[in-house]
Amino acid sequence: MAFKTEFEFELPKGYVDKEGNIHKKGLMRLATAADEILPMRDIRVQQNLGYLNIIILSRVITRLGDFKMVDTNIIENLFASDFTYLQEFYKSINEIGQSPMQPEE
């Protein structure tokens, strides 16, 4: 039995790119200690601790729709409900250790 380190998710609303395409399905990997420690050195986090979750999510989301690389700009431009969903998803796979439920349609 293999240890599962990546989990699929589907955003409630989806990220809308510059062309108007909606990206809802993605993949998040388990966080490492570095994912939680290294962002603390970032000046944006030092100036505003609220930015910590944006950087962490950009490190652990390995795919979002057609994007194979997710950066802080994408996370910053998510709808608030999608950002909250990803924070809860992160918590459920890393802290609680359970596979999260998919959002209601």
Domain boundaries, the chain: 6-96
Give percent above pLDDT 90 in the chain: 85
Q: What is the DSSP string of 26-68?
A: EEEEPPPHHHHHGGGGSHHHHH-GGGHHHHHHHHHEEEETTBS
22-47 pLDDT per residue, tens: 999 999 999 999 999 999 999 999 99
Burial of 9 (0-12, 13-18, 19+ CB in 10 A): buried
Share of the chain above pLDDT 70, in %: 90
Q: What pLDDT is stored for residue 64 in this prediction? A: 98
* The pLDDT of residue 60: 97
What pTM, to 2 d.p., does this model score?
0.87
57-to-94, 95, 99 alpha-carbon distances in Å = 12, 14, 17
